[in-house]
Amino acid sequence: MSRIGDNQVLVKVIELTEAADPRLADYVRLRDVNLRKSLESVHGLFLAEGEKVIRRALRAGYAPRSLLLTERRRDALADLEGEVDAPLYVLPEPVARSLVGFDLHRGVLGSFHRKPLPAVADVLAGARRVVVLEDIVDHTNVGAIFRSAAGLGVDAVVMAPRCADPLYRRSVKVSMGAVFTLPYTRLDDWFGGLETLRALDFRLLALTPGPDSVTLGAALSGTGPTDRIALMLGTEGDGLSARWSELADTRVRIPMAGRDIDSLNVTAAAAIACHELLRTAHPAN
Amino acid sequence: MSRIGDNQVLVKVIELTEAADPRLADYVRLRDVNLRKSLESVHGLFLAEGEKVIRRALRAGYAPRSLLLTERRRDALADLEGEVDAPLYVLPEPVARSLVGFDLHRGVLGSFHRKPLPAVADVLAGARRVVVLEDIVDHTNVGAIFRSAAGLGVDAVVMAPRCADPLYRRSVKVSMGAVFTLPYTRLDDWFGGLETLRALDFRLLALTPGPDSVTLGAALSGTGPTDRIALMLGTEGDGLSARWSELADTRVRIPMAGRDIDSLNVTAAAAIACHELLRTAHPAN
Structure confidence by residue, pLDDT tens digits, A228-252 = 999 999 998 889 999 999 999 999 9
User: Distances in Å between the alpha carbon of B191 and those of B133, B206, B209, B236?
Assistant: 14, 16, 22, 20
For residues B200-216, average pLDDT: 91
CATH number (domain holding residue A51): 3.30.1330.30
Report the domain count for chain A. 2
Residue A144 lies in a domain: yes
Q: What is the pLDDT of residue A2?
A: 42
Chain A, 102-121: which have a CB under 8 Å from a chain B CB? none
Q: By CA distance, what is B145's nearest residue in A?
A: A268
Distance between A25 CA and the closest CA of chain B, angstroms:
29
Q: What is the pLDDT of residue B81?
A: 73
Structure confidence by residue, pLDDT tens digits, B221-238 = 989 888 999 999 999 888
What percent of chain B has a predicted confidence (pLDDT) above 90? 78
Same structural domain, A269 and A176: yes
Structure confidence by residue, pLDDT tens digits, A181-200 = 999 999 999 988 999 999 99
For A154-179, give one letter per residue: b (16+ CB within 10 A) or e: bbbbbbbeebbbbbbbbbbbbbbbbb
B10: pLDDT strictly greater than 60 = no
- What whole-number distance in Å separates Cα of residue B35 and Cα of residue B43? 12
- What whole-number distance in Å separates Cα of residue B15 and Cα of residue B89? 6
Instruction: Please count the residue pairs, one from chain A and one from chain B, whose beta carbons lie less than 8 angstroms apart.
Output: 129
Q: Which chain A positions have a beta carbon within 8 Å of B264's beta carbon? A: 147-148, 151-152, 271
Q: Look at A209-213, B68-72, B134-138, B218-222 and tell me which has the smallest mean pLDDT.
A: A209-213
A109: pLDDT strictly greater than 80 = yes
Same structural domain, B149 and B199: yes
Residue B1 lies in a domain: no
What percent of chain A has a predicted confidence (pLDDT) above 70? 94
Quick check: B264 and A148 CB within 8 A? yes
List % helix, strand, coil for chain B (3-state, nearest 5): 35, 20, 45
Distance between B52 CA and the closest CA of chain A, angstroms:
11
If you average pLDDT over every residue of chain A, what do you get?
90
Contacts of A123 (CB under 8 A, 6+ apart): A156, A158, A183, A184, A185
Q: What is the pLDDT of residue B279?
A: 86
Same structural domain, B139 and B240: yes
Structure confidence by residue, pLDDT tens digits, B142-180 = 999 999 999 999 999 999 999 999 999 999 999 999 999
For residues A163-188, average pLDDT: 96
Same structural domain, A47 and A174: no
Residue A198 lies in a domain: yes
Same structural domain, A152 and A227: yes
Q: What is the pLDDT of residue B280?
A: 83
Is B214's Cβ below 8 Å from some Cβ in A?
Answer: no
Same structural domain, A157 and A267: yes
Q: What is the pLDDT of residue B284?
A: 53
Q: By CA distance, what is B59's nearest residue in A?
A: A260
- Nearest alpha-carbon partner for B70 in B47, B97, B46, B48: B97
Residue A223 lies in a domain: yes
User: Distances in Å between the alpha carbon of B225 and those of B92, B126, B228, B229, B274?
Assistant: 53, 12, 8, 10, 14
Q: Which chain B positions have a beta carbon within 8 Å of A178's beta carbon? A: 259-261
Same structural domain, A78 and A183: no
Q: Which chain B positions have a beta carbon within 8 Å of A151's beta carbon? A: 256-259, 261-264
Contacts of B43 (CB under 8 A, 6+ apart): B26
- Nearest alpha-carbon partner for B136 in B269, B284, B257: B269
Instruction: Specify the length of chain A in residues.
Output: 285
Structure confidence by residue, pLDDT tens digits, B235-264 = 988 899 999 999 999 999 999 987 678 889
Residue A6 lies in a domain: no
- What whole-number distance in Å separates Cα of residue A157 and Cα of residue B60? 40
Chain B, 226-285: which have a CB under 8 Å from a chain A CB? 254-265, 267-272, 275, 278-279, 281-282, 285
What percent of chain A has a predicted confidence (pLDDT) above 90? 78
Contacts of B66 (CB under 8 A, 6+ apart): B23, B26, B86, B87, B88, B89, B110, B111
Q: Which chain A positions have a beta carbon within 8 Å of B258's beta carbon? A: 151, 153
Q: Which chain B positions have a beta carbon within 8 Å of A61's beta carbon? A: none
Q: Which of B87, B113, B139 is where one domain is finished?
A: B113
- What whole-number distance in Å separates Cα of residue B245 and Cα of residue B121? 22
Distance between B162 CA and the closest CA of chain A, angstroms:
23
Distance between A23 CA and the closest CA of chain B, angstroms:
32
Label residue B2 by pLDDT band (50, 70, 90). Answer: very low
- What whole-number distance in Å separates Cα of residue A130 and Cα of residue B51? 37
B6: pLDDT strictly greater than 60 = no
Output the CA angle A108-A113-A117, nearest 5 degrees: 130
Residue bearing the bigger pLDDT, A67 or A211: A67
Quick check: B285 and A59 CB within 8 A? no
Residue A2 lies in a domain: no
Range of the domain at A101: 14-113
Residue A146 lies in a domain: yes
Q: Which of B82, B113, B144 is where one domain is finished?
A: B113
Q: Which chain B positions have a beta carbon within 8 Å of A174's beta carbon? A: 265
Q: Which of B64, B96, B113 is where one domain is finished?
A: B113
Same structural domain, A131 and A162: yes
CATH number (domain holding residue B147): 3.40.1280.10
Q: What is the pLDDT of residue A259?
A: 67
A68: pLDDT strictly greater than 80 = yes
Is B151's Cβ below 8 Å from some Cβ in A?
Answer: yes
Same structural domain, B129 and B260: yes
For residues A1-5, average pLDDT: 42
Instruction: Give, rounded to a whole angstrom, the gap between the first and last alpha carbons of chain A.
Output: 51
B3: pLDDT strictly greater than 50 = no
Q: Look at A22-26, A177-181, A281-285 and tell me which has the smallest mean pLDDT.
A: A281-285
Same structural domain, A132 and A177: yes
B83: pLDDT strictly greater than 80 = no
Residue B4 lies in a domain: no
Same structural domain, B152 and B268: yes
Quick check: A265 and B174 CB within 8 A? yes
Same structural domain, A51 and A161: no
